Each structure stands twice: as structure tokens, then as C-alpha cells.
Amino acid sequence: MTVLNARTRPTQADVAQLADVSPSTVSYLLSGNESRKRSFPEETRKRVEDAAAELGYVVNHRARALRRQRSEIIGVAYVPPVTPWFDAFSARALRHFAERDYSLVQIPFESDTAESVQRALARGYLDALIANCDDQDNEKMLAYATDSNVPVTIFSDTIVTDAADVVREFQREAVIDAVRYLADSGRRRIVFLDYEAPHGSPHVNLRKRGYLDGMRAADLSSRVVTCADNRQATYDQVLRLLAEDEAPDALISFSDRGAVSAIWAAGHAGIRVPDDLAVIGCGNTAEGRSTVPELTSLGIPEGDFAAIFDHVLERIDDPAVPCTTLSLPWTRFVRASS
């Protein structure tokens, strides 16, 4: 004998009572699969739907999650501050999963502990996790994945594992290709703008690697300038660089952000882009599109995330589906700056 609590949301039992059917009928009609639904007469279905509408019934997610062993929540983990790329990625994920009735949540975490991700995975309120972080953190993700049994997807060009789906971007190869592209168009003094890794993380800098390999292949002598992680500082450094006797005729930047600063610096040094100086960034972010001239950039092609998302859903549906390695090679988006 339960007194109906006014503060509490209506349950299927309430709907059943009002529609004068059994709770299981309500369950079938309100959240069963389509074919099962069709086995009910139109009249019953309407009665139930009306009753639900009248009471403002909406399914209790907690109960459903327990019973179905599925929360219909997918998480994307990242280390703040958010990058424009990650922003775009989440937006695509949000839409893709929403169409399939999944919620998407972002889990920001601190790189040293990754505590919030660990908590999320241990508590098990996620059906899957997509992590966008460096290899150091990726290793943690793999560990959490194995002892929480939650399907995890990571982005890494180097890690080999069967504990998680891995997305390969082939960053190194993309930069090699960019160097070749510049060399082919006659550039000789190509300089790489690098950034110090945050927190002295020891992860491999594949973009720099690609630059060095590319330069060696083109038989050009390489030069790396390490910039401070700060627009103004980058700007100043590029300004000095361009004032040198043997000034570069092309720049490849670790990030679009650095490349944008370089374009500004060139502009104010009276150096024409791309005529006197070609500039290429990495990331293919929105920021690069709003400079004058527009920035050529290397990055993940838009529109190809679907394969990743779908594989995540497959793994949720059937845990026996094996982890795979997905290829999502960076593309060269040639715009006005090169």
C-alpha cells in the first residue's frame, strides 16, 4: 500500500492504472520494440498513450538502466582547455548519438590523475567512452577500460592494443606529405614551429618527427624553432625569424594557433603570404579559416567520424565484437596560405 508521493514522477504503474491495463502492457507499448508494439490493437495503444500524456509520464532512466544493463550515455573525455578540434568532434558525436537515442556527456579530467574518468568508468554509468588525449593518458584509459569492461576508444598513432578501439590519424605521414608538397613547389628553407609539451609530458611529437623525416627525404636541412605556448610570444619569435638574413620561405606549425600568429607576424613585417612565405598549420580548426589569407592546414577530414561512432555502438550492442584499429588519415586542406 503505497501512498502516491506528489513530488515523485508518475511511473508505468500509474499509467497502467489510469489506462486500466497491466504494467507490462504499458512497458511494451511505451518502450518496447516496434514489432512488439504492432501486436497490440490500436485501441489499447491509444488508451495507454493518452494516459501517459495525461500524467506526463516519462521513463525512469535509472530503473531502465539497471534493468537493461545499459545507460544510453556515451562519454567523451578530454583534458581542458578544450581545443577547437575537440569542440567540433563532440558536436558531431552529440548529433550522431542523439539520433540513435544516446546522450553524450563530456568528461573533463586532469591529466595527472584522470580521476574523474576513472570514477566514471568504475561507477559504470557510461555505455562507452571516447578519450581524446596524449599517449601518456591513453595508457591510463586502457587500464581503466580493461577493469571496467566499458568499451573505450582512443586516438593514438603509436599505441598497439586490443583493449580498446584505436583511431590512427597518421600525423607523421601527413606532415611528411606537407613537406614534400612545399618542396615540390620550390620552397627550400622550411622551418618547423614547435611547442613545448605541457607538463613535460614525454609523448612522442609525431608532427615534428614527420617534419624531420620529410626534410631528410627531400634532402633539405631542417630547423625547428620551439615557441612558448602563447600567441604574443609566438608572434615575436616569428617576427625575429623573418628578420634574419636567411629567412624561411615556408613554415609548418605544430598547431593552427601558431600558424595564425605567424601569418600576422608576416603581415606586419611586410612579408607576403604565400608569395614570400608559405604557412601550414595542424588541426584544421575554425580559427585558420578566419585569417587573411586563409590558412592551409593538416587535419582530420570532416564527415568521417561516422565509422568511429558506429563501431562504438556495435561494441555496446555486442561486447564480443573485437576492438579494431580505425584509420582516419589527416588530410591536407590547401587554402590561400600555401
131 C-beta neighbours (distance < 10 Å), count: 26
CA–CA distance, 104 with 96 (Å, rounded to integer)? 9
Q: How far is the CB of 4 from DNA (least distance, A)?
A: 10
> How far does the chain reach from its first CA to its final CA, in angstroms?
76
111 C-beta neighbours (distance < 10 Å), count: 15
Q: Which helix (H) or strand (E) holds 30?
A: helix 23-31
Q: How far is the CB of 270 from a second copy (least distance, A)?
A: 12
Q: How far is the CB of 81 from a second copy (least distance, A)?
A: 5
- Report the partner that residue 39 touches, choosing among a second copy, DNA, none (CB closer than 5 to 8 A by kind): DNA
CA–CA distance, 222 with 235 (Å, rounded to integer)? 21
On the CB side of 30, CA atoms within 13 Å amount to 26
Q: Is 30 in the site for DNA (CB under 7 A)?
A: yes
Q: Which of 13, 20, 46, 124 binds a second copy (CB under 8 A)?
A: 124
Q: Which of 13, 20, 46, 108 binds a second copy (CB under 8 A)?
A: 108
117 C-beta neighbours (distance < 10 Å), count: 27
Q: Is 13 in the site for a second copy (CB under 8 A)?
A: no
CA–CA distance, 120 with 232 (Å, rounded to integer)? 38
CB-based contacts of 48, cutoff 8 Å, min separation 6: 15, 19, 21, 25, 26, 29, 30
Q: Is 226 in the site for DNA (CB under 7 A)?
A: no
Q: Which of 23, 49, 55, 84 binds a second copy (CB under 8 A)?
A: 84
Residues numbered 52-81 forming contacts with DNA, rule: CB under 7 A = 57, 59-60, 62-64, 66-69
Q: Is 35 in the site for DNA (CB under 7 A)?
A: no
Q: Which of 44, 45, 125, 220 binds a second copy (CB under 8 A)?
A: 125
Q: Which of 22, 113, 149, 158 binds DNA (CB under 7 A)?
A: 22
Beta bridge partners of residue 194, listed in sequence order? 226
Q: Which of 41, 200, 202, 270 binds DNA (CB under 7 A)?
A: 41
Q: How far is the CB of 54 from DNA (least distance, A)?
A: 15
Kindly write down the DSSP assignment for every residue of 150-176, as one continuous string.
--EEEE-SS---SSSEEEE--HHHHHH
Q: Is 326 exposed, middle or buried (0-12, 13-18, 19+ CB in 10 A)?
A: middle
Q: Is 304 in the site for a second copy (CB under 8 A)?
A: no
Binding site for DNA (CB under 7 A): 2, 8, 11-13, 20-25, 27-28, 30-32, 39-41, 44, 57, 59-60, 62-64, 66-69
Binding site for a second copy (CB under 8 A): 7, 9, 56, 58-63, 65-66, 69, 71-73, 75, 80-82, 84, 87, 90-91, 94, 98, 103-108, 110, 115-116, 119-120, 122-125, 147, 149, 230-232, 264, 268, 290-292, 319
